Amino acid sequence: MKDFKVIFGIFIVLVLYFAFFTSNNITAHKKIDNQKDTIKSNTIDICNLSDKYFNFGGIVISDYYVVSDSLYIDLNRDNLTDCLLVLTPKPLLPEFNNCFSDDVNYCRILVEIINDNGRYRIRNTYDNLIDNIGGVLSEYNGMYKTKNGFKIIHEAGAKFSYEYTMFFDVKQNGVYLSKITKGCNYDGIDSIETYRYLDRSPKLININDTINQNCNCDNIWDKFQTMSDDR
């Protein structure tokens, strides 16, 4: 009889535990929709990846995305460490190719996360600064700190190749494009061009249009190829 009471008591505890756990999960998912600092997906999602969320440093992010890169940096000159995130839609990854739809324009997102004395909030998101090419073919090559802020690099190619780097200055009220360098290379011959800007908004950039035009390197490649053939 004593063993029965013990077993019954354990059974009741387990029932209450799972009831509480399930209830809290459901509540959390309902609350997510009302949270200010939440990144959701509004695109067609044939695999229902958007039904779940995960937490990154206090920011709630749809499970439709994965964090593919991050850079810890002061983004508003207050001597606190903020963060830049690159979020990639899962359908762009090879392991989720069954979720890919030709009807969707998938976009990688760059997210500015600001540290307000231990509370984290989203300041800006950009869907125009990181390429949207799928899988290993992505031409994004990382974010790196610079003296005045950070830079984002895209590069591609072998014999015909380019490197396209965007430099951003960090100020108290935001980040601004300050410079672009473009390097076109053919078989070891380089051409590097620099374009400078004064506090230009990052929202005016469209990296995918630039990449789709091979960073306007075609004419330079043709010139270098002709030079090489004439050697």
Q: Give the amino acid at 112.
A: E
Q: Give residue-wise pLDDT tens across range 120-175.
A: 999 999 999 999 988 767 899 999 999 999 999 999 999 999 999 999 999 999 99
Phi/psi at 66 (nearest 5 deg)?
Answer: -120, 150
Q: Give residue-wise pLDDT tens across range 3-13.
A: 444 444 444 43
Region class of 217: left (phi > 0), else alpha (psi between -120 and 50), else beta: alpha
Res. 206: pLDDT tops 90? yes
Specify the range with the lowest mean pLDDT, choosing from 30-39, 93-102, 143-152: 30-39
How much is the pTM? 0.81
Residue with the larger pLDDT of the pair 43 and 219 = 219
Please classify residue 4 by burial: count the beta carbons closer than 10 Å to its beta carbon, then call 0-12 exposed, 13-18 middle and 19+ buried. exposed
- Report which of 9, 17, 121 is spatially closest to residue 59, judged by C-alpha positions: 121
Residue with the larger pLDDT of the pair 135 and 104 = 104
The average pLDDT across 11-39 equals: 44
Residues contacting 59, CB < 8 A, separation 6+: 37, 38, 39, 111, 113, 120, 121, 122
pLDDT reported for residue 134: 82
Element (H, E) at 21: helix 2-32
The average pLDDT across 54-77 equals: 93
Q: CA 206 to CA 26: how far, in whole Å? A: 39
Q: CA 132 to CA 154: how far, in whole Å? A: 12
pLDDT reported for residue 48: 86
Per the CB < 8 A criterion, the answer to whether 51 and 43 are in contact is no
Res. 220: pLDDT tops 90? yes
Mean pLDDT computed over every residue of the chain: 84
pLDDT reported for residue 27: 31
- Report which of 72, 34, 42, 38 is spatially closest to residue 53, judged by C-alpha positions: 38
